[in-house]
Structure 1
Amino acid sequence: MNPFYYVLSVNGLLFLFSLIFRFFSPKKINSIYGYRTNKTMKNDAIWQFANTFFTKEFLKYSAVSLAAALILASIAKELTWQPMAIMLLSLAVAVIKTEQEINKNFDEEGKKRK
Structure 2
Amino acid sequence: MTDAIELYVSLGYLALMLLVSWLFMKYPPKKINSLYGYRTNKSMKSQEAWDFANRYSSGLMLRITLYCFVLPFMCYLFYPDFNILVTLVGHSTLLLLILVFTERELKARFDQDGKPK
TM-score greater than 0.5 by the shorter chain? yes
For normalisation by structure 2, the TM-score amounts to 0.83
Partner residue in 2 for 1:104: 108
Deviation at 1:95, TM superposition (A): 2.1
Segments of 5+ residues of structure 1 without an aligned counterpart are none
Aligned pairs for 1:4-83 (under 5 A) are 4-65=7-68, 67-75=69-77, 76-79=79-82, 81-83=85-87
RMSD (CA atoms): 1.7
Moved over 4 A (4+): none
For normalisation by structure 1, the TM-score amounts to 0.85
Segments of 5+ residues of structure 2 without an aligned counterpart are none
Deviation at 1:73, TM superposition (A): 4.1
Equivalent pairs, count? 112
Partner residue in 1 for 2:89: 85
Fraction of identical pairs, as percent: 31
Rounded to whole Å, the distance in 2 between the matches of 1:83 and 1:70 is 6
Higher helix share: 2
Cα deviations by residue, 1:59-84 (Å, 9 ceiling, x for unpaired): 1111111x122322431321152111
Equivalent residue letter for 2:100: I
SS in 2 for 1:81: helix
Deviation at 1:105, TM superposition (A): 0.6
